[in-house]
Amino acid sequence: MSNVVLDLPDSLQHQLEERAQKRGVSLQEVIVDSLVLVMAAPDVEEQRAAFEELLNRYPLEESEAALREILAARE
């Protein structure tokens, strides 16, 4: 694991400390979790775009009928 020294504005540090205290975790955990969310955001946006493309490609009415057929065939 690596160490990084950050110079944070006092107000941000206090907000992070309050969040850590409310969650019952360390300040480090709150900072790491926040960074993970920021780094994962582009992946989530790509997944959302792909999902929306599928929704547009297969209208809800057709997808529900196809799902019913698949489930009926399994019985």
CB atoms within 10 A of CB 29: 13
pLDDT at 42: 80
pLDDT at 9: 94
Name the band, by pLDDT with cuts 50, 70 and 90, for residue 11: very high
pLDDT at 8: 92
Phi/psi for 39 (5° steps) reads: -70, -30
> 16 near 30, Cβ under 8 Å?
yes
pTM score, whole prediction? 0.57
- Render pLDDT for 42-71 as a digit per residue (tens, 0 to 9): 888 888 888 888 778 777 777 778 778 878
pLDDT at 18: 96
Mean pLDDT (the chain, rounded): 87
CA atoms within 13 A on the CB side of 34: 13
CB atoms within 10 A of CB 20: 17
